[in-house]
């Protein structure tokens, strides 16, 4: 079962990817993890990637694809995997399709966790973080005992710049431009499945299980 997760930043696709990995006993593969593993392991691709990153440049797609193909060629991926955070653009999706086709493989499901922008902006603006100990809260879904104060260390909680509406809107704009076209791409490939990501986390996962089968 080869699965790709689609959805806007903040839609909760990472959480769902973890739950899928757990239930179906397949690895949850994020590009961040692959980068870290290759750089730590000193692989040729990892070293190449690092030279770009050290200069603050984007790592070219062929390097990322190379690391990804190495990763999914490993033994634990024999029954499939769930990709989180890749592909993000049409050229990346096309490269992935091509690289998989060379092995006689293809993506089985592209699951889009659909959440309207307004919901995402509202969710994110409710987040609060403790700069002292790193704990995170949400004013509605996971509030601290005492408003504005960290339960663990007693420091004042803040709304991080990353979670501010204007920052979230900017990220969503990039998503709509670059990543949303993947929904049509995978629809045309007849592997797209959509779930309503505005539901509670467990209900979203139940919908995914219905798509993937028990």
Q: Which residues are catalytic?
A: 13, 88, 127, 160, 171
Q: Within its chain, how far is the Cα of 12 from the centroid?
A: 8
132 binds Zn ion (CB under 5 A): yes
157 binds Zn ion (CB under 5 A): no
Q: How far is the CB of 141 from Zn ion (least distance, A)?
A: 18
Q: How far is the CB of 149 from Zn ion (least distance, A)?
A: 9
133 binds Zn ion (CB under 5 A): yes
Q: Which helix (H) or strand (E) holds 160?
A: none
153 binds Zn ion (CB under 5 A): yes
Q: Cα 119–158–163 angle (5° rounding)?
A: 30
130 binds Zn ion (CB under 5 A): yes
Cβ count near 142 (within 10 Å): 12
CA distance 67 to 77: 14
CA distance 86 to 29: 9
Q: How far is the CB of 210 from Zn ion (least distance, A)?
A: 39
**Site residues (vs Zn ion, CB under 5 A):** 130, 132-133, 135, 150, 152-153, 155
């Amino acid at each position: 079962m080869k699965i790709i997760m689609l959805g806007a930043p903040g839609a909760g696709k990472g959480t769902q990817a973890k739950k899928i990995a757990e239930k179906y006993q397949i690895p949850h593969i994020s590009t961040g993890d692959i980068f870290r593993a290759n750089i730590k392991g000193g692989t040729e691709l990892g070293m190449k990637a690092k030279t770009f990153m050290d200069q603050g440049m984007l790592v070219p797609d062929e390097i990322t694809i190379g690391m990804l193909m190495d990763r999914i060629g490993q033994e634990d991926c024999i029954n499939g995997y769930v990709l989180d955070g890749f592909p993000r653009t049409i050229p990346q999706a096309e490269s992935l399709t091509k690289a998989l086709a060379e092995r006689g493989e293809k993506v089985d499901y592209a699951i889009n966790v659909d959440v309207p922008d307004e919901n995402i902006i509202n969710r994110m603006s409710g987040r609060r973080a403790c700069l002292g100990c790193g704990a995170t809260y949400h004013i509605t879904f996971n509030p601290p005992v005492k408003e504005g104060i960290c339960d663990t260390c007693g420091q004042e909680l803040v709304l991080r710049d990353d979670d501010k509406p204007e920052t979230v809107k900017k990220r969503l704009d990039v998503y709509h431009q670059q990543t949303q076209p993947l929904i049509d791409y995978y629809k045309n490939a007849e592997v797209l499945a959509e779930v309503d990501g505005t539901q509670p986390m467990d209900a979203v996962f139940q919908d995914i299980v219905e798509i993937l089968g028990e």
